[in-house]
Structures are given as C-alpha cells and as structure tokens.
Amino acid sequence: MSPLLISASEIKTLNEIEVRANARELMGVASSANEGVVLKEQLDLRTVYRPGELLETVPGLIVTQHSGEGKANQYFMRGFNLDHGTDLRIVVDGMLVNQRSHGHGQGWADTNFMIPELINNLHYQKGPYYADQGDFSSAGVVSMGYANKLPIGISNFSAGQQGFMRGLVAKSHEVGNGDFLYAFELLKKDGPWVNKEKFKKFNGVLRYSQNSEKTKFSIAAMGYGGRWNSTDQVPQRAVDSNLISRLDTIDPSDGGKAHRFSLSSTLEHTSRHGITKINLYTLHTNLALFSNFTYFLDDPVNGDQFLQTDKRFQSALDLSHTWVNDFAGLEFENTVGSQFQNDIIDNGLQKTKQRQKSSTTRKDHIRENSIAIYFQNRVQWLEKFRTVTGVRSDFYWFDVNSNLVANSGVAYDSMTNPKLSLIFGPWLQTEYYFNYGSSFHSNDARGTTTTIDPKTGVSIDGVNPLVRSTGLEVGLRTAILPGLQASLAFFRLDIDSELLFVGDAGTTIATRPSTREGFEISTFYKPTHWLTIDLDYALTKARFSDSNPVGNYLPQAVQGVGKAAVAFNHIGPFFGSMQFRYFGKRPLIEDNSVRSKPTLTLNGQVGYKFGKKIQVMIQAFNLLNSHDHAIDYYYTSRLHGESAEGVDDTHYHPIETRSFRASILASF
C-alpha cells in the first residue's frame, strides 16, 4: 500500500497504517485487483542473481539481462517487451529511475545502484488507472522505499563461483532528534563467460531522518559507480558451427561504465487541514556503453561497434495535499498534486573499433521539461460500494540542439487522462473491481525534431512526443480462506502507436497501434507462521491492431509467465526458500514464423542462524544447470566471410550457468 492509500477516518485521527502481508489489510484500501505490497521479510528470502531481480516479486513481471552486468535490466510484463524500462515506471526512494531521451533507449531504468538490504517494501500497481502516476506507467508502476533506520547494524560478506565477491556495511545511529543511516557496498563478478565481465561496482548511502508526531523528514545522498565487459547476445549460427561457444562473444571489446549520484529529501506534515507531502531530488548520471550487435554488417573491415553516451542532470519536485470534506453524511477524500521534472542531457552516438572512436553519427544537447497536475477523489458511497476517480494533465517542452542543424528544434505537447475505479464488496471477504483509465509514455526528444536520419542522410518524419494508452480491467481480491490472499484480473490495453527511439541506430521509428488482452492470477498463502507459498501466472495476447501483410504479432511480446516461490523461516535456526520461474515463448517477428523457446529457472537458498548476531547462508542459481536463453532476438547480422547482405538469424543471450554463493551476516 502506498502512503496515500488511507481512509478518511485515518486522516482525521492521524493514525499511521501498519502494512501487513494480509489481504484483509488491502480490503477497503486498494483500488484494483492488480495492486499489491511485498514486505521486507519476503524480499529478504528471495534468491536474486542481481538487484533488479527483486522486481520479480511482482506477479507477471520478468527481469532479465542481455548484456554486461552493469547495463540496465530488460523487463517483460503484460505482453510487453519493456526493453530497459519503457512503459514500466520504476521508483526507488521517491526518485524516478526511468530516464527519458536516453542515449541507449527511452525509459532506461538502471537499478544497479539499489542496495537490497535497505529496501523496506515494494509496492506495485498495474495499468493506467492511477492519477499520481505519469510517464512510463502504461504497463505498471513499481515503487521501492528505503528504510530510514535499521534496528541493528549489518555486516555482510559473500563469495562464490564466477568470481563473485560482495561486502556490505550498514548501520543507523540516533543523532539529535533523528536517525543517521549509512551503508557502503563493494561488489565484483566475472560471470560464466569466456570473456570475463570484470564487473566492479560501489554503492554508498548517507541518510538523516526525523519522525515527530506530525512531521516526517528525511534527506539522503547516494552514490554508485560501475564498469564492466559485455557478452552480448550471440548468433545461433556461430554457436552451431562451433565458431564460438554459447558463453563466448563475437566482439570481446564491448562493455561500459556508469555512475549515478543523487541528493533527495522528503517532507510529510499532518495537520487538521490534511496531509501535505513534498519530495525534492536532483541527480547526475553518466553512461558510456560500447555495443556491437550486427558485427560486420555495416563495416566489413572495422566492424559495427558503436559508443552510446548519456550525461544528464535531472531535478524533480513532487507535491501533494490530501484532505477530507464532509457532505451529505459522506466523507470525500481529495488529493491534489503537482509534479515537475527538468532534464539537461548530453548524449551521442559514435562509431568505434575496440572502444576507439572513429566517427560521430550524432551528438545532441537536450533540455526537456514537464509539469503535471492531478486530482483524485475517493468516496465510500455505500457500505459495499466506493469509487476512486481522477484526472491528470501533463505538459512537455523539448529543446534539441543537434550537431546536424536539420535535427535541431523545439517541440511542445500535452495530454489529459481520466481515471475511474469502482469497487464493490466485500462479500465473503471478497472485493470486486472495475478500472478504466488512460496514460502515456513520452517519446525521445530527438525523435520530435529529427528530419534527417543521421546515419543514412535520408529524410524522415518526426514523431508525436506523447503516446496515449487506454486500459480496461475487471478483477477480484479474496481472503476467503485463513492465511490466503488471492487476486484475479482480466485486462485490455490499447496503445495508439508504439513509438520507440532506436538508440542502436540513432533514429526514431513510429510503429503501429497495438492491443493487449490477458489475465493474471496471483496467490499468497501462509498456512503457518513459518511457511509461505507464492504462486502467480499471467497470459497475454498481444497484437498490432491494424492490418499489415508482414503480420500482426508484436515481436518479443511475452505470452505466458509463471512463478512459484516457497519460503520457510522461524523453524528454530533454519530459514530458506526455493523459486521457480517460467518465461514463456515469444514471437520474434511479425508473422510468428520464428519464436523463442520457453525459459525455466530454479534458484534457492538455505541458511542457519547462530543466535541473534550471526547467520550463514548458501545460495544456488540455475540449480538445473539449464541451457535456456535469458532473451532472444531475430535480426540481420554478418560474420567474417558472409555475404554483404548478412544473414537473418536468431541471436540469444544464455542464462548464467549453475553457481553457488556463500554469505555470512553479522549484526552489530
């Protein structure tokens, strides 16, 4: 549950809500069947190969990787290949992770800066039904909150196969009327690849917070830095012919480096007038990414490697106020809010060979600003019927200064989107939901002003800055059995045009309108105090909604997704978990003649507590040592000796081979 999901009576009495892993706590609070909370205890018992995989606790969401460990994850949900974050809004500690007009791809969401031990809870909402959520939220929103203080200090050291080593120290102290928290993390990893990743990263967090009866305040500074070598996807034909092994690469000089520094603050004040919240942050990021996906297709001598750079200063302000009005015996809970974001961006695309620059394809300085205003109203009309209605308006300004004068310019756009939720019940501890709403994702600023393809010099049309999505959903949530919470949702989502900036080519293309229809079922069962069982399955049909001879299937659109997790704790000194994941088949081209195979993974962990101060743990990844693929693509590439036209082929990134890690955690 988000902090805004509170009843009118709770505003008046100024009571806090205690979030519990119990569906009854969501009854009367949630506005859809697709909304949920994952608590810290559940997150701590997840076995994750990389921090971003914590998001897989969201039902129906797949998090994978097709490149080096420092690159942003690839996300799949509700019939989307969400690429590195487009249409999935990710928020960490109140800061938007998605980056618009990014050098590699719109909505780039790199979560390598997250420290899992500091995440207090994960809140998810799916679909375009929430007035306080804007850009990138069409498929859903995932918000993770950091703890203001730790009950005990943490010292964690982990080591394992594939060159893995990690150290973490975190602790909080009372300082004045508040708490000061610090956390520092160092990590290195090579992975199973022939070309060792040599991934190294550091993370640091400094945080001060105060929590009085009426006012909550925090200020936090974060820093992240990483560098790595990449093993990108490989062509199937190169593996079949024994040119390379499945864990090798065509271009071993691929890789990158990145850093992220942020300063953020939050203020929440409760008075007789309601609850006022302010969230203000600024951050600086820098990325240099070397990639080669087509090998020798464009340049048979020097190869096709390119460098994408993105350097930005991003600032944002979120302001909201919630209050209650009494009218005709009813309580109207109202929320009004405003959100502002400014991005100053320098990004570019350059041709390289073994990370040495040879020419510039395009270079741009971008200023992008947005302002949003929204209003939301909640009313309990009858004992068994309530509504949540809202409206949101977004205004965008784009100013692009390109090295190609013809691609420079200024653009404006705005969009207003309605929201409606009808909630009925509960009857027999079951609530029923109807949701309707629309949202959007912004397009890359460069696509709004580009008139000439910077790579070929051919004239092209610009694209609309904002792309509308419209969703409809019906569902239910039940706690009819003791210890069980379950939800079922049927949804449809229409997108006017799947606009996408293709960072690999430096151009923007506008694809066709599309429709996604499907259902999701999620169950969380806690039969005893020591055992939890988490099951979810989602099935989606995704198609282009117009007619075209090339076909109507959406490439990379995930169809079936299933997950099962079993965790035990409080059995004396023992604890552990097991996680199974099914990542279903996907069409790789529009006529569905080429499809990926499904991917099955099994991870697990077991631990032992030595008193209250020390615990040890063994984690296992890909226990079945599967040779399945983390991701598949189908496109044209060229190897040495092949024809100039190249070869259409499946390109894939294998999942990591079986590996083990051991950890010792000491409290102080």
Secondary structure (H, E, C), 56-110:
HHCCCCEEECCCCCCCCCEEEECCEECCCCCCEEEEECCEECCECCCCCCCCECC
CA 317 to CA 267: how far, in whole Å?
12
In a domain, 645, yes or no: yes
pLDDT of residue 248: 97
Residue 2 lies in a domain: no
pLDDT grade, residue 1 (50/70/90)? Answer: very low
User: Would the pLDDT of 151 be above 90?
Assistant: yes
CB 337 within 8 A of CB 132: yes
Cα distance between residue 359 and residue 428, in whole Å? 67
Within 13 A of 531's CA, how many CA atoms are on the CB side? 4
Supply angle C-alpha 117, 662, 666, rounded to 5: 50
Residue 358's CB is within 10 A of a number of other CB atoms, namely 13
Specify the pTM: 0.94
Tell me the average pLDDT across 431-437.
98
Q: How confident is the model at residue 100 (pLDDT cuts 50, 70, 90)?
A: very high
Segment 32-44 shows an average pLDDT of: 93
What is the structure's pLDDT at 26? 80
Assign 329 to helix, strand or coil: coil
Per-residue pLDDT of 319-348, as tens digits, reads 999 999 998 889 999 999 999 999 999 999
User: How confident is the model at residue 463, as a pLDDT?
Assistant: 86
DSSP labels for 187-237?
Answer: EEE--S-SS---EEEEEEEEEEEEE-SSEEEEEEEEEEEEEEE----EEHH
Q: Which tens digit of pLDDT belongs to each residue from 501-556?
A: 454 554 556 688 999 999 999 999 999 999 999 999 999 999 999 989 999 999 99
Number of independent structural domains in the chain: 1
Q: Give me the pLDDT at residue 456, please.
A: 84
483-502 tens-digit pLDDT: 999 999 999 999 998 765 45
Q: What backbone phi and psi angles, to 5 degrees, belong to 237?
A: -65, -30
Task: Return the exposure string of 75-110: e unless at least 16 CB atoms fall within 10 Å of the residue's CB, then b.
Answer: bbbbbbbbbbbbbbbbbbbbbbbbbbbbbbbbbbbb
Is 253 among the domain residues? yes
- The pLDDT of residue 208 is above 70: yes
pLDDT of residue 27: 82
Query: From CA 55, how far away is CA 143, in angstroms rounded?
Result: 10
Q: How many whole angstroms separate alpha carbon 432 and alpha carbon 423? A: 6
Give the pLDDT band of residue 11 (cuts 50, 70, 90): very low
Query: Is the pLDDT confidence value at 21 over 80?
Result: no
Structural domain span for residue 289: 8-667
644 vs 163: CA distance, rounded Å? 39
Residue 18 belongs to some domain of the structure: yes
Using the 8-state DSSP alphabet, how is residue 301 labeled? T
Task: Give the pLDDT of residue 460.
Answer: 87
Q: What is the pLDDT of residues 443-480, one digit of tens each?
A: 999 999 999 988 888 998 888 899 999 999 999 999 99
State CA 638 to chain mean position distance.
Answer: 33
In-domain check, residue 1: no
Q: What is the pLDDT of residues 363-373, one digit of tens each?
A: 999 999 999 99
What is residue 497's predicted lDDT score, i.e. its pLDDT? Answer: 86
pLDDT value of position 377: 97
pLDDT tens digit sequence for 168-186: 999 999 999 999 999 999 9
For the chain, give the mean pLDDT. 93
Confidence of residue 16 (pLDDT cuts 50, 70, 90): very low
Structural domain includes residue 661: yes
Residue 568, SS3 per DSSP: strand
| Residue 629: predicted pLDDT | 97
Q: Domain holding 630: CATH number?
A: 2.40.170.20
CA distance 320 to 308: 37
More confident residue, 19 or 317: 317
Give the per-residue pLDDT at 7: 37
Sign of the CA dihedral 427, 429, 430, 436?
positive
Q: What is the C-alpha to C-alpha distance for residues 368 and 466, in angstroms, rounded to an integer? A: 13
